[in-house]
């Protein structure tokens, strides 16, 4: 039963709708993905110990920089001057977020795991 459920959910991950998909369906498809991921997030993150909550925050911070994907697409499409400018600025800011977040998280986690002397 779970397998059929999964099979039904798989098309949700398709990023681009079939040409026939109407906007309301697109919206609901993305909303489904959103709510399911939210739920997975709650399940997984409640298991993180409080001792690691700072690296969790900075690590999740880095992951929120995923908006760089959107920035690359809108900047790369070169449709209008403004669009490209906004997109490039977004790439810059999102990449500061991504690189800063992952590197500082690594730095912190290394401190929790001191090298054997």
Partner 1 sequence: MSSQAWINLAYLTASMLFIVAFKQMSGPRTAVRGNLLGATGMAIAILAACFEQPVTTSIAEYGIWPLFMLIVFAAIGGGIGATMAIRWPMTGMPQMVALLNGFGGAASMLVAAAELTSTRAVSRFEESARQASAAASLEPWTQFAIAIGLACFIGSVTLTGSLVAFGKLQELPQFKKPWDNPNRQWINLALAVTALFLLWGVFGTSQLLFFLLLVLVAAALGVTLTLPIGGADMPVVICLLNSYSGLAAAAAGFVIDNSVLVIAGSLVGASGLILTAIMCKAMNRSLLGVLFGGLGTTSTVDADEVYAGKIKSAETEELAMILEQADRVVIVPGYGLAVAQAQHAVRELADVLEARGTSVEYAIHPVAGRMPGHMNVLLAEADIPYEQLREMDDINPSFPETDVAIVIGANDVVNPAARNDPDSPIAGMPILDVDKAQTVIVIKRSLSPGFAGIPNPLFAADNTLMYFADGKKALIELTAAVTRD
Does residue number 18 form part of the binding site for partner 1 (CB under 8 A)? no
The CB-of-65 to partner 1 minimum distance in angstroms stands at: 5
Does residue number 9 form part of the binding site for partner 1 (CB under 8 A)? no
Does residue number 38 form part of the binding site for partner 1 (CB under 8 A)? yes
Residues 76 to 115 in contact with partner 1, rule: CB under 8 A? 76-80, 82-114
List C-alpha distances in Å: 114 to 55, 88, 103, 117. 16, 39, 17, 8
Q: Which of 3, 6, 46, 116 binds partner 1 (CB under 8 A)?
A: 46
Residues in contact with partner 1, shown as a per-residue x/- string from 47 to 76 under the rule CB under 8 A: xxxxxxxxxxxxxxxxxxxxxxxxxxxxxx
Handedness of CA 21, 26, 32, 38 (dihedral sign): positive
**Interior angle at CA 42, CA 39 and CA 46, nearest 5:** 155
């Amino acid at each position: 039963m779970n397998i059929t459920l999964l099979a039904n959910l798989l098309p949700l991950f398709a990023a681009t709708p079939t040409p026939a998909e109407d906007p309301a369906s697109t919206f609901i498809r993305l909303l489904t993905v959103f709510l399911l991921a939210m739920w997975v997030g709650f399940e997984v993150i409640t298991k993180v110990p409080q001792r690691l909550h700072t690296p969790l925050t900075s690590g999740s911070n880095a992951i929120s920089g995923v908006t760089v994907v959107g920035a690359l697409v809108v900047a790369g499409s070169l449709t209008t001057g403004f669009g490209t400018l906004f997109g490039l600025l977004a790439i810059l800011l999102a990449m500061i977020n991504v690189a800063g977040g992952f590197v500082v998280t690594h730095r912190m986690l290394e401190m929790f795991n001191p090298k054997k002397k």
